[in-house]
Chain A
Amino acid sequence: MIATLPPAESWLERFPLLVRDWITGHLPESLGWLAVSLLAIVVILAAFGLLFAYLTLAERKILGRIQNRPGPNRTGWFGLLQPFADGIKAVTKEDVVPREADAVLHFLAPVLLVAMSLLGLAVIPFGRHLLAANLEAGVLYFFAAGAATELAVFMAGWASHNKYSLLAAMRALAQLISYELPLLLSVVPVVMLAGSLSTTHIVDAQGGWTFGWIPHWHVLTPWGFAGFVMFMIAALAESNRSPFDLPEAESELIAGHLTEYSGFKYALFFMAEYFGMCGLSAMAVTLFLGGWQAPCAFLEFIPSYVWFTAKLLTLLLGFIWIRATLPRLRMDQLTRLAWKFLVPLTLLNLANAAFWSLSAGWSGPMHWVRWAIALTVVVGPFLLLGRALTAGVAPRTYRYA
């Protein structure tokens, strides 16, 4: 697909490549491949490290504004140095390890968690030319790495030898088992239609525009929209974000698996949460929002990585917005939502995607029939299952004495 590049590609689009070539140009030929890989790792670490730092600040600021308060604004100009102050604080704080804790696992859990949440970023195409590892089974690799993060949460909970941590570990496992399935099932239609597990192919499959301004992103199809929403719900659960932050559950389990962590290890957990959130959002962008593709043909002059970043930040903003609004679900409700709502819907969505693929040739009035059928398959089960899910739960009216 690289062959279909527009011929007049701007230097901005090629800018990261030019920088890479300039740096590797100084090195001997034999080390070039190593330098290229290392450079990718360094860039990802630096970029996402910085994104993490400022995402924490942005989250606190936005949460603050939503709650009608200013948020951190004392460290540096508009509080811009706050992440670094927090970092210094986390590093210099005492690292407390409970006497009864399993010291090795207690140490390994945050390390593993950060490592696993970073691994997924390798297969995300951040721009037309920006991809660390072009794996044939990139999507599979991403979710394999992602699943390991929940194990690390379990590890942390178990190793802390604390009752709250133990409860959090139990919750983390239940959540892992419940939400891996809808997460993967919501991705399967994309893989099916693109016919590939490679992230580059999936992005390329969403290229092009109808009339030059309607992009062919998956999210703009009925099955793609449903898949995107369900993917994001599962991603919220997968990254332990509100309203699915049950393992951490501040008001119930103090800090859940983080209860016995302090100092830099705590910061690592925090970092991993944001990396995981970024990774899943990036995957959602890749799978459903057209990856680095511009929304309209005439906007293509803006470099692809800018488009990717914009879409990524929009999704992250959505994460923050949801966190600011919703209370937490209970464990049984969480698993019920997964098994009785998301899993059936994702399975139906799979069939819907198959129908969409088979009916690709319909034209003329049949085109509208195709849309009607696909939309019905999305909306109908949603309403029915939604009603079943919320049975017995409704606003009430009250009488007066």
Chain B
Amino acid sequence: MQDLSPGGAHVRAVHDEFHGDLLEVSMGPHHPSTHGVFRMVVTLDGERIVKLKPVFGYLHRNHEKLGEGTSYLGSMPYTDRLDYLCSMTNNWAYAVAVEKLAGLTVPERAEYVRVILAELTRLLNHTCLAGFLMQDCGCSGTPLMYAFREREKILDLFESLSGSRMMCNYQRFGGCRVDPPADWLARAQTLVDGYTAFLDEFEALLTGNEIVMARTQGVGCMSAALAVSAGVTGPALRATGVAHDLRKVDGYGVYPRFNFRVPLGAHGDVYDRYMIRVLEMRESVGILQQALAGLPGGPIMNPAAKLRGFRPKAGEAYGRIEGPKGEIGFYLISDGSPNPWRYRVRPPSFINLTILEDMCLGHTVADAVIILGSVDIVLGEVDR
């Protein structure tokens, strides 16, 4: 245990006056439950965490600098790769920023299609997240497989619309790239109609399960004050009881036309974060029903929008929407050239991750894994 020679220090004791020997474990970046290449350096007293240092950047791809070197249009496919579960909402947030910058309007039909796609993305993301979370809890893949079964159906829809399952690259400045094909809306309707039944079954498997409740209730509590001061957004913030949903606050797109509620938690623990997502999915199903029923005709693209030689006038703009993980925003400064002068992403999962240590202290290794899982991170977005 006292071998501190290089190469021999695999089990190094960290001495602490009060706790005796502490164990420092580097969880990740190749740990099965870190959702990619994330690393947590945890100091353990037995199995209890006394210190946790998150380390990220293993998937850094220079995303923002690339955005400055690429045309406005060229950054669109890169936004797919930020949070690769939610390419549609990333696309939308970026499109909103550019549309603000260039002063483009979006036809009504495109706004509806965007809402449909964003809510499908929310279903997809929250379903997967619940599956991943339960996998972290130690399920042998069953909830994850059910989640992926439903996710595949949504991805099939995305594929027949945009040509790609995950890297959709579908939104454009001033609308959407193509009109949905003939049978697409009917297929979407079938999926939406069946989704509540799936959620009921999924909840029957998990929500009332004593082990799930024991594992997740009272674990990883986040206070509303902490969440607000850290800039946490999305379901993680709403689980603490703060009613902040950009769909209501900003009312962007055509969201004000739809009737939906924002579920709020009270404890801010892992169970609340899980339940808020499940309840949000039920609201999303309602929004989808309304949007599919009310989808107007007309063009899907603003004819004034230029594809080639797109040069917004000098200025700056911040576009944000309520992504499944939280507020996803893009900040752009234009100097009138074809490339943005500054391209900045506000990644929700990165900002939500910053208070990981506050949530984990005093809990065990097993809890740290599910707390991390409940934050809902995608390393493509955290590291950019």
Which residues of A does B touch, CB under 8 Å? 63, 66-69, 98-100, 161-164, 166-167, 170-171, 242-243, 245-246, 249-254, 323-333, 390, 392-396, 398-401
Determine, out of B56-64, B77-85, B161-169, B259-267, the stretch whose residues face the partner at the interface.
B259-267
Contacts A251-B33, A333-B214, A401-B248 given; indicate if A327 touches B207 (C-beta within 8 A): no
Please tell me if the beta carbons of A390 and B214 are within 8 angstroms of each other in the complex: yes
Contacts A252-B369, A327-B137, A327-B212 given; indicate if A163 touches B11 (C-beta within 8 A): yes
Q: Tell me the residues in window 186-221 of chain B with beta carbons closer than 8 Å to chain A beta carbons.
A: 205, 207-215, 217-218
Best-buried of A253, A332, A333 by chain B (most CB within 10 Å): A253
Q: Which of A100, A243, A250 contacts B211 (CB 8 A)?
A: A243
* B-chain residues with CB within 8 Å of residue A398 when the two chains form the complex: 263-266, 275-276, 279
Q: Tell me the residues in window 239-254 of chain B with beta carbons closer than 8 Å to chain A beta carbons.
A: 243, 245, 248
Please tell me if the beta carbons of B215 and A329 are within 8 angstroms of each other in the complex: yes
Query: What does the 1/0 interface line of B140-153 toward A look like (CB < 8 Å)?
Result: 11100110010000
* B-chain residues with CB within 8 Å of residue A327 when the two chains form the complex: 134, 137-139, 209, 211-212, 215
Q: A63-B140, A249-B138, A329-B211 known; 12 other A-B pairs, CB under 8 Å?
A: A67-B142, A100-B10, A163-B25, A170-B47, A252-B365, A325-B142, A327-B211, A328-B215, A329-B215, A332-B364, A398-B264, A400-B264
Separation of A66 and B205 alpha carbons in the complex (Å): 12
* A-chain residues with CB within 8 Å of residue B238 when the two chains form the complex: 401
B31 within 8 A of A: yes
Closest 7 A-B residue pairs measured CB to CB? A328-B138, A401-B243, A67-B145, A327-B137, A400-B261, A401-B262, A251-B33
Give B301 Cβ to nearest chain A Cβ, in Å.
35
Give A175 Cβ to nearest chain B Cβ, in Å.
13
* B-chain residues with CB within 8 Å of residue A329 when the two chains form the complex: 138, 211, 214-215
* A-chain residues with CB within 8 Å of residue B266 when the two chains form the complex: 396, 398-399
* A-chain residues with CB within 8 Å of residue B217 when the two chains form the complex: 392-393
Which residues of B does A touch, CB under 8 Å? 3, 7-8, 10-11, 23, 25, 31-33, 44, 46-47, 134-142, 145-146, 149, 205, 207-215, 217-218, 238, 243, 245, 248, 261-266, 271-272, 275-276, 279, 364-367, 369
* B-chain residues with CB within 8 Å of residue A166 when the two chains form the complex: 11, 23
* B-chain residues with CB within 8 Å of residue A98 when the two chains form the complex: 10
Chain A residue nearest to B134 in the complex (CB): A327
Please tell me if the beta carbons of B145 and A167 are within 8 angstroms of each other in the complex: no
Best-buried of A164, A245, A251, A399 by chain B (most CB within 10 Å): A251
Chain A's interface: helix, strand, loop or mixed, by majority?
Answer: loop
Please tell me if the beta carbons of B8 and A100 are within 8 angstroms of each other in the complex: yes
Give A209 Cβ to nearest chain B Cβ, in Å.
37
Give B217 Cβ to nearest chain A Cβ, in Å.
5
Please tell me if the beta carbons of A324 and B365 are within 8 angstroms of each other in the complex: no
Give A139 Cβ to nearest chain B Cβ, in Å.
30
Separation of A166 and B136 alpha carbons in the complex (Å): 20
Chain A residue nearest to B248 in the complex (CB): A401
* A-chain residues with CB within 8 Å of residue B271 when the two chains form the complex: 396
Contacts A254-B31, A329-B214 given; indicate if A243 touches B138 (C-beta within 8 A): yes
Separation of A398 and B268 alpha carbons in the complex (Å): 12
Q: Which of A243, A252, A330, A333 contacts B33 (CB 8 A)?
A: A252
Chain A residue nearest to B25 in the complex (CB): A163
Separation of A63 and B144 alpha carbons in the complex (Å): 13
Please tell me if the beta carbons of B213 and A395 are within 8 angstroms of each other in the complex: yes
Best-buried of A252, A323, A390, A395 by chain B (most CB within 10 Å): A252
Separation of A392 and B276 alpha carbons in the complex (Å): 19
Separation of A254 and B366 alpha carbons in the complex (Å): 11
Contacts A166-B11, A325-B205, A399-B264 given; indicate if A68 touches B47 (C-beta within 8 A): no
Separation of A251 and B139 alpha carbons in the complex (Å): 9
* B-chain residues with CB within 8 Å of residue A99 when the two chains form the complex: 7
Give B142 Cβ to nearest chain A Cβ, in Å.
5
Please tell me if the beta carbons of A167 and B47 are within 8 angstroms of each other in the complex: yes
Please tell me if the beta carbons of A69 and B145 are within 8 angstroms of each other in the complex: yes
Give B143 Cβ to nearest chain A Cβ, in Å.
8
Please tell me if the beta carbons of B23 and A163 are within 8 angstroms of each other in the complex: yes
Give A82 Cβ to nearest chain B Cβ, in Å.
18
Give A376 Cβ to nearest chain B Cβ, in Å.
23
Please tell me if the beta carbons of B211 and A326 are within 8 angstroms of each other in the complex: yes
Give B76 Cβ to nearest chain A Cβ, in Å.
33
* A-chain residues with CB within 8 Å of residue B25 when the two chains form the complex: 163-164, 167
